[in-house]
Chains A and B, each alone.
Chain A
Amino acid sequence: MNTPEQPDQTVPGPDALQRFARSWASAVLTLALGVVLLILLPRVLDDFALVQATVYVVMSILAVSLGFIWGFGGILCFGQSAFFGLGAYAYAIAVTNLGDSTLPFLLAIVLPAAFAGVLGYLIFYGRLSDVYMGVITLTVTLILFNLINSTAGPEWKIGVAPLGGFNGIPGIAPLNMPGNVDDVIGPRGLFELSLGALLLVYLLLRTLLAAKPGRVIVASKENEQRLLLLGYDARAYKLSAFVLGAAIAGLAGCLFANWGAFTSPTVFSLAQSAQIIIWVIVGGLGTLVGPVVGCVAIQWLTSQIGTQQTINSNLVLGAILVVFVLMVPRGIVPSIGSICALLTRRSRRKAYARSNINAEVSSRAAQDEHDTPDDKAKVDPHGETVR
């Protein structure tokens, strides 16, 4: 009774390209490309271009943090910049007080994560809906913006670090080798550290998504009720994803504070929050490479527009967002994937026609053979599904 019916030729499922995107091969390819850039760029770019590239990479880490929680966990956080800003400020204040940058570096990751833990606990365990998630995270970001913005007076300081209000904190000490305050990181070192961090974050998230926690997080976006029925505490998984996203954003904030040796309340601004969302939409929701592509493309475009006076860059960004939402709603990376899939399908159809002829020939030859059951299900379990 349990003989599986043979699927017809049109079993709906992922095509070869989607399978590739989820395979370890694509992860290795992406990481290899990253390592090549890591070695090559500091050798070919001049100092100015390298500093420019560093901020692209730092912002890419921030974009990936939102791309992860939104694209895979279904958590649309309007306040990813809050964690980014907290990371920057935590590093700036701690390093001014302590001198050595080891603890401040860790604090810039842990503090935003802890803040996200409290905020996320209230949201997920309070069973607030997705709309409130957006409203609350946006509001928290604006509160932080106004709070930091109004700390301009000399009486606002933590330890010996003045908060600086809307002027921000200038002259932030750069990262140093742990234990040696004099051995500070240079522009090249910061680029290598940032790109290395981005690659590590990518590897971490890909590994996570291939394992049980990542799969449960993806499933919670699909159907939370089913997860609960299966005995998974969906809230705990969502909260963990949210906290991890905040930690990654905090790391980006710390690197950003290092990049300009400066941080100001604009890291908490509405424009900053919106920009991250635009990067993810343009690059491609539901991928990890997409946010990086979107972030670099948009930032490069913004700086190009900035070199001339006729068109306002915000106007162009707005137009790009509208075009993408209406015409390329899946974003750059998934759309490139679809185009490639279309091309391979065309060539596969030809190959299929050819193999049909071969199959007919061989089946005639096999008619005298034993009547063995033909298990058409593929042997490769393809269970190691990763993204």
Chain B
Amino acid sequence: MTPLLETRNLNVRFGGVHATRDVNFTLAEAELRCVIGPNGAGKSTFFKLLTGQVKPTSGQILFRGQDISNMQSHQPGRLGIGIKTQVPSLFNGLSVWENVWLAARRVNTPQQTERVTRMTLERVGMLAYRDATVGLLAHGQRQWVELAVVIAPDPPLILLDEPAAGMSDAEVTRTAELILDINRQHALVVVEHDMSFIRKIARTVTVLHQGAIIKEDTPDRIMSDPLIQQIYLGKKPQ
């Protein structure tokens, strides 16, 4: 069976920097995968490759068997890849409702759009803020609105870059619950460096180091692996 997402011998070089080395990554339908690694491990570059913001020097990225590595920037969204960047990227001058409406409208009729928008906002718990201007919301709330924007078109694959960045503990817990809830219908790739957050959501973790995949395993085994403790944590575990 064709995997949902697959990269084949993916390489990126920026001048002399080899940012991604021979990455062969496979994600099954409806899977939830966390990608971790220390600063400079190539997480961001890997994420940008998947979203099409960076073009690979060599290799392929296949979404359901279709090469997406050299697509125009609006085409991954059309294929059904939902993307959430690290800094919330929203229409700040528009209301919460309008943001999600626009996301839902591309794939729905006007009537369906109203229903989908309401459902999605309910799901992330932001329906009460429907008329609020997004730019004036708190950081955590904007992250949730962006999650709503990403899931509203019902994409089979969702890519999240540090979805819990800058959140309080309570907000992180809630975001983890949301992501597990989203995973019931959508496959997810979550790029993250916050270990406590990964413990809450991960079943399988991919570890990047110096641009290459060094291990793929369950979170517990990853965290007890001495090599990974050495390179990732830089110290012995508590």
Decide whether A and B are members of one complex.
Answer: yes
Which residues of chain A are within 8 angstroms of B64 by Cβ–Cβ distance? none
Q: Tell me the chain A residues, 194-231 only, with Cβ under 8 Å from chain B.
A: 212, 215-216, 218-219, 221-223, 225-231
Question: Does A230 lie within 8 Å of B89, measured CB to CB?
Answer: no
Which residues of chain B are within 8 angstroms of A219 by Cβ–Cβ distance? 91, 94, 98, 102
The 9 closest A-B pairs by CB, nearest first: A231-B77, A12-B136, A222-B91, A231-B78, A4-B128, A13-B131, A13-B132, A228-B74, A228-B73
Q: Does chain A have a CB within 8 A of B47? A: no
Task: Sample 30 A-B pairs with CB under 8 A, ordered by A number.
Answer: A2-B123, A2-B124, A2-B125, A2-B181, A4-B125, A4-B127, A4-B128, A13-B131, A13-B132, A13-B133, A14-B95, A14-B133, A212-B105, A218-B94, A219-B94, A222-B91, A223-B92, A227-B102, A228-B77, A229-B51, A229-B77, A229-B83, A230-B149, A231-B78, A231-B153, A233-B72, A233-B74, A234-B74, A377-B127, A383-B114
Name A231's contact: one of B74, B89, B98, B123 (CB within 8 Å). Answer: B74
Q: Does chain B have a CB within 8 A of A364? A: no
Q: Tell me the chain B residues, 145-161 only, with Cβ under 8 Å from chain A.
A: 149, 153
Q: Assuming the A-B contacts A7-B132, A222-B94, are A215 and B105 also in contact, with contact meaning beta carbons closer than 8 angstroms in the complex?
A: yes
A-B contact sample (17 more), CB < 8 A, given A219-B94, A219-B102, A231-B75: A4-B129, A6-B128, A7-B132, A12-B137, A13-B136, A14-B95, A226-B149, A228-B73, A229-B76, A229-B85, A230-B102, A230-B103, A231-B78, A232-B102, A234-B74, A383-B117, A385-B98
Contact residues of A with B, CB < 8 Å? 1-7, 11-14, 212, 215-216, 218-219, 221-223, 225-234, 376-377, 381-383, 385
Distance in Å: Cβ of B77 to nearest Cβ of chain A: 3
Complex formed: what's the CA distance from A231 to B92 in Å? Answer: 18
Q: Does chain A have a CB within 8 A of B122? A: yes
Name A4's contact: one of B79, B110, B122 (CB within 8 Å). Answer: B122
Q: Assuming the A-B contacts A7-B132, A383-B114, are A215 and B106 also in contact, with contact meaning beta carbons closer than 8 angstroms in the complex?
A: no
Which residues of chain A are within 8 angstroms of B103 by Cβ–Cβ distance? 230
Question: Does B125 lie within 8 Å of A3, measured CB to CB?
Answer: yes
Name B153's contact: one of A223, A230, A382 (CB within 8 Å). Answer: A230
Question: Does A229 lie within 8 Å of B89, measured CB to CB?
Answer: yes
Q: Tell me the chain B residues, 88-129 only, with Cβ under 8 Å from chain A.
A: 89-95, 97-98, 101-103, 105-106, 110, 113-114, 117-118, 122-129
Distance in Å: Cβ of B158 to nearest Cβ of chain A: 11
Complex formed: what's the CA distance from A264 to B110 in Å? Answer: 47
Which residues of chain B are within 8 angstroms of A381 by Cβ–Cβ distance? 97, 114, 118
Complex formed: what's the CA distance from A52 to B132 in Å? Answer: 44
Determine the main DSSP class of A at the interface with B: loop
Contact residues of B with A, CB < 8 Å? 51, 72-79, 83, 85, 89-95, 97-98, 101-103, 105-106, 110, 113-114, 117-118, 122-133, 136-137, 149, 153, 174, 177, 181
Q: In chain A, what residue has the closest Cβ to B83?
A: A229
Distance in Å: Cβ of A20 to nearest Cβ of chain B: 14
Complex formed: what's the CA distance from A232 to B149 in Å? Answer: 13
Complex formed: what's the CA distance from A219 to B78 in Å? Answer: 17
Which residues of chain A are within 8 angstroms of B72 by Cβ–Cβ distance? 233
Question: Does A226 lie within 8 Å of B122, measured CB to CB?
Answer: no
Distance in Å: Cβ of A112 to nearest Cβ of chain B: 28
Question: Does A7 lie within 8 Å of B128, measured CB to CB?
Answer: yes
Distance in Å: Cβ of A173 to nearest Cβ of chain B: 45
Which residues of chain B are within 8 angstroms of A11 by Cβ–Cβ distance? 128-129, 131-132
Which residues of chain B are within 8 angstroms of A3 by Cβ–Cβ distance? 125
Question: Does B122 lie within 8 Å of A2, measured CB to CB?
Answer: yes
Q: In chain A, what residue has the closest Cβ to B84?
A: A229
Q: In chain B, what residue has the closest Cβ to A233?
A: B74
